[in-house]
Structure 1
Amino acid sequence: MATDLVRAFVREDLKKSDVVAEVVSLVTVLEQEDFRKLLQEFVDGIDQSMLLDVHLLNGLVQLIRNAPQGYIDVDDLVKILGLLNTRLKDTHKQSTRHTYQLALTISQVLDSMVDSQVKGLSREQLHEPLSDYLEELKQDQDPYLVYQATYAY
């Protein structure tokens, strides 16, 4: 049954928040193949969407944080962080809500990377640009954004 729900979610073009919440709640009972298909759907949705979909960001975090041991590879986390870093840099600075959501998601992905003991990030391509941008965000007027930027930094 869980597999059928994942397939229906993948086929559906419109990913409403209640549907995202429902499919993410299945993460602990999914087979690894179904989990990875679902993870790919969230990553593709974030990557290919012109407008930022906050529901997909929240769902991605829930998938990552609740994934059974061994379902997510270290390389997956690095690639997801790279995607989120790109989306963060491409977000207009006056869009505090989207910047905050991306910083929050990045913080939680970084937590998962620490839990998975990820080492050896590309300093020039990922670590330094992300650190520099988070340093800028720490100067923002929004205290919630400052907190997330500081936490992720």
Structure 2
Amino acid sequence: MIELTQIGAQLIFIGIVFFLIGLIQGALIPVVKNSRMALSGHLTAVQCAMALAIFGVIWSLVELPLFWETVAAYGSVFGFILIWLGITIASITGASKALPIAGAGFSANVNAEFTVKVMVRTGSLLSLLACTLLAFGLLPILGQS
């Protein structure tokens, strides 16, 4: 039986707020330097927001030690937000080195390029770790019938 946990409720709330931010960002796509990158940021926000809300709904099924459960929950939150924020900064500044497909034809100063690279890479590693932990934490449900 799925029940709502405190971490689950927090993930759902953060996911819904993040979804709202993604919707607002969608309306602002035409006003940034790189609208293609802004579209990528908008899609990242709404997709990651839905993932967080889903994680919250199923959180009671996750069986991990408390430390790893916390890393999985908040690692996914911070990882997803870092990726989105890096992409959003790239859309405003024109940074393109870390995201060359959406950034094709644009460039920014060294500081902006470095900031975006660090945010996107750190967020990617955090979310990869968090989702790996989540997958391991859900393994016990496969044995239930």
TM-score normalised by L of structure 2: 0.32
Q: Which has the higher contact order (CA 8 A, sep 6+)?
A: 2
Query: Higher helix share goes to which structure?
Result: 2
TM-score normalised by L of structure 1: 0.31
Larger Rg over CA atoms? 2
